Amino acid sequence: MNELQVELKSQLEKFCLAKIEPHMEHDDEVEEFRMDIFTDLGNLGFCGMTIPETYGGAGLSYQDCAVALEEIAKYSVSYSVTVSVSTMVQAIINDFGTEKQKTTFLPALTAGQEIGAFCLSESSAGSDAGALKTTAKKTEGGYILNGTKMWITSGGIAKTYIVMARTGEAGSKGITAFIVRDGTPGLSFGKKEKKMGWRASPTREVIFENCFVPEENILIGEGQGFKVAMAALDKGRITIGAVAVGLSQRALDESVKYSLTRHQFNHAIFEFQGLQFMMADMACEIEASRLLVQEAARLYDSGKPNQKIASFAKLKATDTAMKVTTDAVQILGGVGYTREYPLERFMRDAKVLQIVEGTNQVQRVVIARQLKKEYQTH
């Protein structure tokens, strides 16, 4: 890490220990999201890390962002993911929006005063994003949206929604991206999902019933939505990978600390070779994941985004998070399965990381396609 990243990590460690860690078991239990924590992160500059200072962002690189998200995730995957998704929404507006859209929507998001949400998935269009059925019919001055989006992170608490809707033909070419604000007539929310993990982060259906969106809220133009979505997911692979690395690191930290103090047969259980091998493997896999995430971020920052490497990073880091948290529960034994220790929460939080921002099966498809292209070229 460079000097700036060391400082970011140190600042976040102090913040998270003071503001997030004391509440996480309670908030997970009652499914509470604290907006004041998010706003405080914004006040410190962590809610718009990759956005230019012109719009209130910190102007940091994706390598810096990965370090920050990893640190937050050690204490709360829910808050780290909220920052990640809101940052992705900001990146969409920054990359594809007009100057008016940027000045209108970005400052409140970068300041952490508001949260952004990304609305792509539907009940029949998850991995197959081109199959979405939410429609946007042209009318005077704008479009009328009808349909339902599923499993939307921050649904109901977000203020700015990036929504993919069908304006044209079947398939990916008929999709358009819209900016929709909370409070728009015709926009409503379904029940808050009861989830295995990420319980402090609300997930809801987002429902559009004759919801009018002005023409000025289109991103790029008609038929460009799939391009917008895929570009966003390319960044999401990096940020979700970083979240997974942070979660894995905390699980390893807890495992080592516990095994050094827990005694069986007159020895600290750390001294048993079977557990040493487990923790050595955990450490190795976490570092490999971290290096892949940082390489994907470095390539993106250098203007040479590499979809294959980004998919490597997301796939490796999230599969590692699932394996490491499961092994961490095993190392702690009976208490690892109880809520006396946070490992059971980490294990629950890890699972959906393998699903969001493109399932890990989809990541393998993306990697295979890139391999085919490379080998056919050479």
Active site residues: 357
Structure tokens given for 43: 């006040």
Nearest one of 45, 38, 39, 51 to 7, comparing CA atoms: 45
Cβ proximity of 325 and 238 under 8 Å: no
Q: Looking up tokens 């939505």, which residue turns up? A: 225
Burial profile 232-267: b = 16 or more Cβ within 10 angstroms, e = fewer: bbbbbbbbbbbbbbbbbbbbbebbbebbeebeeeee
Structure tokens given for 291: 């290096």
Cβ proximity of 347 and 247 under 8 Å: no
- DSSP character for 124? T
Structure tokens given for 247: 């979660």
Structure tokens given for 349: 């939080």
How far are the Cα atoms of 53, 97, 138, 217, 267 from residue 222, in angstroms, in the given order? Answer: 29, 13, 10, 11, 67
Beta strands, E only, the chain: 116-119, 135-139, 142-153, 160-166, 175-181, 187-192, 203-214, 218-219, 263-264, 267-268
Distance CA 200, CA 68 (A): 19
